[in-house]
Structure 1
Amino acid sequence: MQLQQRINAFSTLGRFLGQFGEENAEMKQDIPFNSEFFFGMKDRLQAAQHHNGWFTPENLRFACKSWSEALSEAHIKTWLSAYTIKDTSPSTVAVIMAGNIPLVGFHDFLSVLISGHRFLGKLSSNDRQLLPYLASYLVAVAPEFEDMIAFSEEKLQDFDAVIATGSDNTARYFDYYFGKYPHIIRKNRNAVAMLTGDETPEQLELLANDIFRYFGLGCRNVSKIYVPEGYDFDPFFKAMYSWKDIINHTKYINNYDYNKAVYLMSGMDLLDNEFLLLKKDEGFSSPISVVFWESYTDASEVRATLAEQRDHLQCIVSIDDIPFGEGQTPRLWDYADGVDTLSFLLKLS
């Protein structure tokens, strides 16, 4: 199967996904195999929502739209232009996926197949509804993929390399079991934002998206902010109000109530707008409904600290880094944990 064929198949998959990025999905006539798969995908999205209470219709639509935009032929070719991809004997790559946000393992799925390797996936129980169905659509578009894609619920066997994503705790087990294979093992990461106090209301509202999208469960969600000494939090909280409807989500508000009670019983000082808690803390990984914050007098000192802690950070959102509002829409070449997945895969050949 030639590289251009693989590119064509994934760009077609992107067009298919784009139909489900809007609230009222309408079937388009110019998408291959749409009549066979459109209504099944709607069913899969509903099943994902019922299976995992964090996978709301809004977040599922956002995931579909984001991947649809990323999978344009132009974006795929821009991504691949930095590499030399040759037709060689494929390896089997076992991919152990997280399940914190919808389709969180899709980039690994894409990378393995676009590089010409065989994909062997082990899905999280939290996110097993969508990817197998999209794989079926991909096979319909390009039947050559049929022998290149497999999913397993059993112990993984007969593979040549591993990509595994999990917590800091599970990473130790991954190291133990898969250390003898070529591997990428990902751990906990978080995103932070650096504010100057000069942000516009529009920028702060975009930051709210970086904080609240996927309820803060993604590794690219902003879980901590750095603010200048004497920062006025009123504009910040005013911007957060754009996400006020999040209080209607039972799982989220239960976390808010629980964390607020625990902190108050411990005598901790909090900033609170009735659906988001700000807690002064030196850590990065804040609980759901909580954002940590620290103040600074010298931005260069914060930069130095973040450089030292880069192994704990997924990305930085600021005027000078990833733009506000784009934390959850990484480009294909924005690799998780800063590890170039495609270079790793191409070295297997």
Structure 2
Amino acid sequence: MSQLSKINAFIELGKFLNQFSLSENLKNPSVKHNDTFFDRFVSLIELSQSHNGWFTPEQVYFSIQSWAEALTDDNLKNWLSAYSFTTNEPKRIGLILAGNIPLVGFHDFLSVLISGHHAVVKTSSNDQKLLPFLAEYLMAIEPELENFITFTEGKLENFDAVIATGSNNTARYFEFYFKDKPSIIRKSRNSVAVLNGKETKEDLENLGEDIFRYFGLGCRNVSKLFVPKGYDFKNFFEAIYKYGDIIHYEKYANNYDYNKAVFLMSLFKLLDNEFLTLKEDSSYASPISSVFYEPYEDIKAIENRLNDDAEMIQCVVSNNLIPNSIPFGQTQKPKLWDYADNVDTLQFLIDLK
């Protein structure tokens, strides 16, 4: 099966996904296989929150639209143009996917198929429905893909290499279990924002998107702020007020109440706006509904620290205060060539012998 056929299948998938948004699901008569898949996908989206309480329609639609925007002819060609593909015998690539946000493992799935390998997929129990549905659509577009996609519910077996994503604890298990196989093992990471007090209201509103999208469950969500010493959080709290409805989601509200109570019982000093707590803390990983912050005096010292802690950091957000940082509001809109943990998944797959 040619790579071009697979690329075209993903382009068609992008067109299919582009019909669905929070404001309106609008059927495009030119999209293939809509009679079979359109209404089923709407039902699946509506039921997603029953499968995982964090997968509200708003969050699922955001993920779908992000992939619709990514899976275009131009984006796929731009991404793949940087690589030289070989004609090695296809390998069976085990994919152990996370389930913290909708379709979080889709990029690995895409990379395996585009590189010519067979995807052996073990989905997370928290996200078992969306990817198999999209795989079914791909196979309807290009039936030969059925020979390249396997979903497994049991023990991952009969594979040549593995890409596994989990917590720091599960990563240790993965590293031992897969020590004899080529692998990419992803651990927990967090994202940070570096402020200097000159950010506009729009910047801070966009920072709210980086914090609250997917309820803060993703590794690309900002969980830590570096702020200049003496920083006044008044403008920050005013800018993120627009996200206040998040407290009406029961699972988020429960986390807010619990984590706030734990902090207060421990006599920690908090800043609080009734839907987000800010706690001064040197750690990167804050609990849901809370963001840690840390004052600084020397921006260069922060740059050096982030370089030293690179294996703990997924994204850095700033107005060009830190080299290679991401603009505010863009953490959950990665490009196809933005790899998790800065590990080039596609090159890893191409290099397999």
Q: Aligned-pair distance for 1:5? A: 1.3
Where 2:86 maps in the other structure, the secondary structure is: coil
Q: Counterparts of 1:112 and 1:53 in 2: how far apart (Å)?
A: 29
Is 1:325 the counterpart of 2:332 in the alignment?
A: no
Secondary structure of the 1:120 match is: strand
SS at match of 1:19: coil
Q: CA RMSD in A?
A: 0.8
| Number of the residue aligned with 1:205 | 205
Range 249-258 or range 18-27, more displaced: 18-27
Per-residue Cα deviation, 1:241-290 (whole angstroms, up to 9, x for no partner): 01010011011011111111111111110000010000000000000000
| 2:97 and 2:122 in contact (8 A); partners too | yes
Counterpart of 2:160 in structure 1 is: 160
Q: Distance in 2 between matches of 1:169 and 1:297?
A: 34
1:46, distance to aligned residue in structure 2 (A): 2.2
Name the aligned partner's letter for residue 69 of structure 1.
E
- CA distance in 2: counterparts of 1:124 and 1:30, whole angstroms: 33
Counterpart Cα distance in 1 of 2:188 and 2:165: 9
Residue-by-residue CA offset, 1:217-255 (whole Å, 9 max, x unaligned) = 000000000001111100000111010100110110111
Q: TM-score, normalised by structure 2?
A: 0.98
1:221–1:327 contact (8 Å) kept in structure 2: yes
Query: Percent of aligned positions with the same letter in both sequences?
Result: 56
The answer for the alignment partner of 2:82 in structure 1 is: 82
Which residue number corresponds to residue 124 of structure 2? 124
Aligned to 1:336: 340
Partner secondary structure for residue 21 of structure 1: coil
Give the counterpart letter for 1:347 in structure 2: D
Structural mapping, 1:164-175, within 5 Å: 164-175=164-175
Partner of residue 259, structure 1 = 259
- Rounded to whole Å, the distance in 1 between the matches of 2:27 and 2:89 is 38
Do 1:23 and 1:61's aligned partners in 2 also have CA atoms closer than 8 Å? no
Q: What CA distance in whole angstroms lies between the structure 2 residues aligned with 1:199 and 1:259? A: 28
The number of residues matched between the two structures is 349
TM-score for both structures, normalised by structure 1: 0.99
Partner Cα distance (2:261, 2:22) in 1: 37
Amino acid at match of 1:192: V
| 1:33 alignment partner AA | H
Listed as ranges, the gaps of 5+ residues in structure 2 are none
Q: Is the 8 Å Cα contact of residues 191 and 316 (structure 1) preserved in structure 2?
A: yes
Output the CA distance in 2 between the equivalents of 1:275 and 1:47. 26
Aligned to 1:180: 180
Q: CA deviation at 1:168?
A: 0.1
The answer to whether the 8 A contact 1:201-1:235 is kept is: yes
1:24 Cα shift? 2.0
Q: Distance in 2 between matches of 1:111 and 1:48?
A: 25
Q: CA–CA distance in 2 between the matches of 1:65 and 1:21?
A: 7
